[in-house]
Amino acid sequence: MRLSNRQLGAEILERILDRFQCKNSGVKMAFGYGSAVFPQKGNEPSANKSKKGSSNMVDICLVVEDTKKFHNFNLHLNMHHYCSTVRLIDLFASRAQSANFVNNLQHLPCSVYFNTLVQLDECTVFKYGVISMENLIRDLSTWDSLYYSGRLHKPVKFAPTSLLSPSEEEETVRWRGSLQRNLTSAWNAALLLQQKEIKDKSTSVEAMPLRDVFVVLCGLSYNGDFRMILGEDKQKVVRIVDSSFEQLKSLYMPIITSDPHVNYSELMHSEGVQVCLSPEAVQYRISQLPKRLQKNLTSSYSRDDSGKGHSSSISLSDLRSSLDNDLRKTVWRSSVLQSTKNIFTAGILKTLKYSYQKLTKMTKSLL
191 and 163 fall within a common domain = no
Q: CA 334 → CA 148, 275, 299, distances in Å?
A: 11, 32, 25
Strand partners, 303: 309
- Residue 357, domain member (yes or no): no
Of 145, 177, 209, the residue at which a domain comes to its end is 177
**213-260: per-residue pLDDT in tens?**
999 999 999 999 888 877 667 788 999 999 999 999 999 999 999 999
pLDDT (tens digit, 9 = 90+) per residue, 80-137? 999 999 999 999 999 999 999 999 999 998 999 999 999 998 888 999 999 999 999 9
Segment 160-171 shows an average pLDDT of: 68
Please state which of the ranges 121-135, 160-174, 248-262, 317-331 shows the lowest mean pLDDT. Answer: 160-174
The per-residue pLDDT for 39 is: 81
Q: What is the DSSP string of 89-152?
A: HHHHT-HHHHHHHHHHHHTSTTS-EEEEEEESSSS-EEEEEEEEHHHHHHHHHH-SS-SHHHHT
**Sequence-distant (≥ 6) Cβ neighbours of residue 315 within 8 angstroms:** 197
Task: Provide mean pLDDT across the span 51-71.
Answer: 82
Q: Which of 33-37, 42-46, 223-227, 350-354 has the lowest mean pLDDT?
A: 42-46
Does 215 share its domain with 325? Answer: yes
pLDDT of residue 121: 87
**What mean pLDDT, rounded, does the chain reach?**
84
Instruction: Let me know whether 125 and 221 are in one domain.
Output: no
- 220 and 145 assigned to the same domain: no
- 75-89, 142-156, 161-175, 295-309: least confidently modelled range: 295-309
* Mean pLDDT of the 148-168 span: 82
In a domain, 352, yes or no: no
Residue 208 clears pLDDT 50, i.e. is over it:
yes
Residue 48 above 50 pLDDT?
Answer: no
- pLDDT of 173 above 90: no
Looking at the fold, whether 159 and 249 belong to one and the same domain comes out as no
* 345 falls within a domain: no
pLDDT of residue 269: 52
Please tell me whether residues 59 and 142 are part of one structural domain.
yes
Q: Let me know whether 150 and 254 are in one domain.
A: no
In this model, does residue 49 exceed pLDDT 60?
no
Based on the domain organization, do 164 and 253 belong to the same domain?
no
pLDDT at 297 over 90: no
| pLDDT score for 51 | 44
154 with 190, same domain?
A: no
- Residue of 43 and 352 predicted with greater confidence: 352
pLDDT at 74 over 70: yes
Residue 171 sits in the same domain as residue 271? no
Domain that holds residue 136: 5-177
19 and 158 inside one domain: yes
Q: How many domains does the chain have?
A: 2
List all residues 6 or more positions away from 19 whose beta carbon is below 8 Å from its beta carbon. Answer: 77, 78, 120
Residue 59 three-state SS: strand
For 273-290, what is each residue's pLDDT tens digit?
Answer: 889 988 899 999 999 999
Within a domain: residue 172? yes
What pLDDT was estimated at residue 299? 64
pLDDT at residue 314 in the model: 62
Prediction pTM value: 0.87
| 309 lies in the same domain as 202 | yes
